[in-house]
Amino acid sequence: MSLAAYCVICCRRMGTSTPPPKSNTYWRDVRNIIKFTGSLILGGSLFITYEVLALKKSLTLDTQVVEREKMKSYIYVHTVSLDKRENHGITYQARKELHKAVRKVLATSARILQGPFADTFSTIDIEDHECAVWLLLRKSRSDDRAARLQAVQEMSETHHWHDYQYRIVAQACDLRTLIGLARSKDSDLRFFLRPPPLPSLKEDSSIEEELRQLLASLPQTDLDECIQYFTSLALSESSQSLAAQKGGLWCFGGNGLPYAESFGEVPSATVEMFCLEALVKHSEIPTHCDKIEANGGLQLLQRLYQLHKDCPKVQRNIMRILGNMALNEHLHSTIVRSGWVSILVEAIKSHHIMEASHAARTLANLDRETVQDKYQDGVYVLHPQYRTSQPIKADVLFIHGLMGAAFKTWRQQDNDQDVTEKVSEDETKYTTCWPKSWLARDCPALRIISVEYDTSLSDWRARCPMERKSIAFRSNELLRKLRAAGVGDRPMIWVSHSMGGLLVKKMLLEASKKPEMNTIINNTRGIIFYSVPHHGSHLAEYSVNIRYLLFPSLEVKELSKDSPALKTLQDDFLEFAKDKNFQVLSFVETLPTYIGSMIKLHVVPLESADLGIGDLIPVDVNHLNICKPKKKDAFLYQRTLRFICDTLAKDLEN
């Protein structure tokens, strides 16, 4: 335990703490630096205070008393210099300052938080601005929801308090207030205590081994094929064998299933990554979340998160697990006590869209005060990611296509300029996700959601070799997740790229068959299609001709022009869309796209992108860039913005 030359007060109710052991070592080692200064009785509670007067070197104490002290809450007061040239009577000044602070903290706490609300503080020796701290804390626990929200907002907008006042709020506020502050954009980071010390690893153990043990402790039966696959893979492989098996391809667990990150690229997977992949799948099952928490998973994941700050893939999967666990309300207090909130607050303020969005999803799932919707794995709110006073009047949903993702699909089209320079520029000139940066600014009354699901161009890249999910399967899965997020409760517009447009069509048709999904149909105002192959794609034909190389995935096969399912989907949706009078805008590429270094083709030709209703606009870009405008004033973005504003005009005015 290393201490600097400052003063600190520890306030504990003696009736609830375990008496310190009679350790001569303890009192001998600390008698020169800690002085018992008295007790104070308020409201039947007995408190003690200690003052740290001086310590000019690190001190290590290995006693039960000190271990317990580490876990206690501290209230910090102004630093008092111990240089005699700067202060006269330092011991007297320190003791006076400490006693004054203790009297303020304990007396005010007893009057406001524990006793009946007082109309005046004339009998308490505190300043007006210090009254505000405790008044806001009291208000944040009001039975009136509006009063609670106002108190949190006032706290978040406060930037003139002393350091110890922020610490008081951090220690005295309840879970609901803490999450509210975390989801307030301007909250000071001092509102959030650092995570408590993590438990030591077991002797002769490693993080890899503890991850394996955590995974092995979860139920292994009655699981779907993908969960079984990732679980058996993580449990059977070792980091040594993976390191030895470098090269283009290798087999998982001796089962003969080939896997590669990409052609000509050495796989970067590790045992930890496989364990995390498996835990992501397990965390989708509520009872498994309980076991993850009970077996120390929150602390283990936190240790792994801190160790792999330079590995976004590891951190991403950890955030996915945490976000899934936050869907279970009875785990909220445990997640908060484990110290994750301060980590999430730093992450949501990150300039990296993926890091911020994963943190925003978890915090939204923890916020039952203002968020009734639940965001399951793969559903991310791009705007608003914080609490806002702006009323949300409509939803816009972004659905990516083959090989796409919730964030990278909707980035700005790259050019010759250095990306590192562009990131530092104004977002009107460059953005890593235009729906979050540009659309949110132009239409702040929208909730903007981006969906992510696993796709693969070929079976070589399938994340789970046993996973063969059709468009019909994926549409039902996404429909269920979106409804849980409250999609359908407001007017909405769908924005889709490539195969994502086929998913949108299938989702709307499936929703029309289910009474509980009727709100999605009734509130759908329009759809934007970016190069959607309504009548099939050359990609499917081309990949069939080189089957020995690509092994086309089920998604690609379904894009074939002679696919009966694709034709049925087109015919059914066209009739349905005309009946519902959906507004439709379609864009289509005119330039060919390079698939790897060997294949160049026109993925979606003009005739395939023609839905049969709405406007169809050719654009001189390739298939990948059809949804990536070059800049904010580019035709692609401005035409998209105009369609959204015109289609939702009546809804946004109300």
Digit-coded pLDDT (tens) for 475-529:
899 999 999 999 999 999 999 999 899 999 999 999 999 999 999 999 999 999 9
Nearest-angstrom CA–CA distance, 227 and 231: 6
Place of tokens 């945490």: 322
Q: Tell me the H-state helices in 183-224.
A: 207-216
Residue 492 contacts residue 392 (beta carbons within 8 Å):
no
Token look-up 């975390």 returns: 182
Handedness of CA 122, 124, 127, 129 (dihedral sign): negative
Residue 130 to residue 124: CA distance in whole angstroms? 11
Element (H, E) at 76: strand 74-76
Six token digits for residue 601: 């083709």
Count the helix, strand and coil residues of the chain and give each as a percent rounded to the nearest 5: 45, 10, 40
**Average pLDDT of span 33-52:** 41
Examine the pLDDT at 31 and tell me if it is beyond 80: no
Q: Give 601's strand partners.
A: 593
Check residue 36 and give its pLDDT: 40
- Residue whose pair of structure tokens reads 């994941």 in the numeric block: 301
pTM, two decimals, is 0.78
- The per-residue pLDDT for 224 is 79
Instruction: Yes or no: say if 439 and 641 are a contact pair by the CB < 8 Å rule.
Output: yes
Residue 319: is its pLDDT beyond 60? yes
- Mean residue pLDDT of the chain comes to 77
Q: How do 583-589 and 524-530 pair as beta strands?
A: parallel
| pLDDT band of 565, cuts 50, 70, 90 | confident
Mean pLDDT value of segment 118-138: 63
Return the H-helix or E-strand segment holding 234: helix 225-236
Model confidence at 377: pLDDT above 60: yes
Contacts of 150 (CB under 8 A, 6+ apart): 139
Distance CA 196, CA 268 (A): 32
Please state, as a whole number, how many other Cβ atoms lie within 10 Å of the Cβ of residue 451: 21
Q: Is pLDDT above 80 for 595? A: no
Asked if residue 467 lies in contact with residue 226, where contact means CB atoms within 8 angstroms, the answer is yes
Tell me what percent of the residues of the chain surpass a pLDDT of 70: 66
Contact 439, 470 (CB under 8 A): no
Q: What is the pLDDT of residues 576-591, one digit of tens each?
A: 999 999 999 999 999 9
Predicted confidence band at 593 (pLDDT cuts at 50, 70, 90)? confident
How far is Cα 5 from Cα 463, in angstroms, rounded to an integer? 54
Give me the residue label for tokens 């954009």. Answer: 185
Name 151's Cβ contacts closer than 8 Å, sequence gap at least 6.
136, 137, 139, 140, 142, 177
399 alpha-carbon distance from chain centroid: 19
**Measured CA distances, 312 to 67, 324, 450, 452, 454 (Å):** 34, 18, 19, 17, 18
Residue 14: CA atoms inside 13 Å, Cβ hemisphere, count? 13
For residue 414, give the nearest of 443, 389, 434, 437 by alpha carbon: 434
Higher pLDDT, 380 or 11: 380
What is the spatial distance between Cα 562 and Cα 565, in angstroms, rounded to a whole number? 9
Residue 347, phi then psi, degrees to nearest 5: -70, -40
CA distance 44 to 173: 22
Domains and CATH numbers, the chain: 128-190 (no CATH), 198-241+267-372 (1.25.10.10), 378-414+429-653 (3.40.50.1820)
Torsion of CA 554, 555, 557, 559, to 10 degrees: 160
What are 41's strand-pairing partners? 46
Q: Three-state DSSP class for 278?
A: helix
DSSP string, 541-600: HHHHHTHHHH-B-HHHHTT-TT-HHHHHHHHHHHHHHHHHT-EEEEEEE-S-EEETTTEE
Q: What is the DSSP string of 9-52?
A: EE-EEGGGSPPPP--HHHHHHHTTTEEEEEEEEETTEEEEEEEE
CA-CA distance, 390 to 9, in Å (whole number)? 41
**Per-residue tokens: 91:** 């011991």
Q: Considering only 162-171, 435-444, 469-478, which range has the smallest mean pLDDT?
A: 469-478
Q: How long is the chain?
A: 654
Task: Give residue 97's pLDDT.
Answer: 65
Neighbour tally for 125: CB within 10 Å:
11
- Across the range 21-46, mean pLDDT stands at 40
Assign 516 to helix, strand or coil: helix
Maximum CA extent, the chain = 92
CA distance 604 to 593: 10
CA distance 317 to 322: 9
Residue of 61, 41, 57, 40 whose CA lies nearest to 49: 40
Give 241-281 pLDDT, tens digit per residue.
334 443 333 333 333 233 333 333 323 346 788 889 889 99
Cis preceding linkage at 384, omega within 30: yes
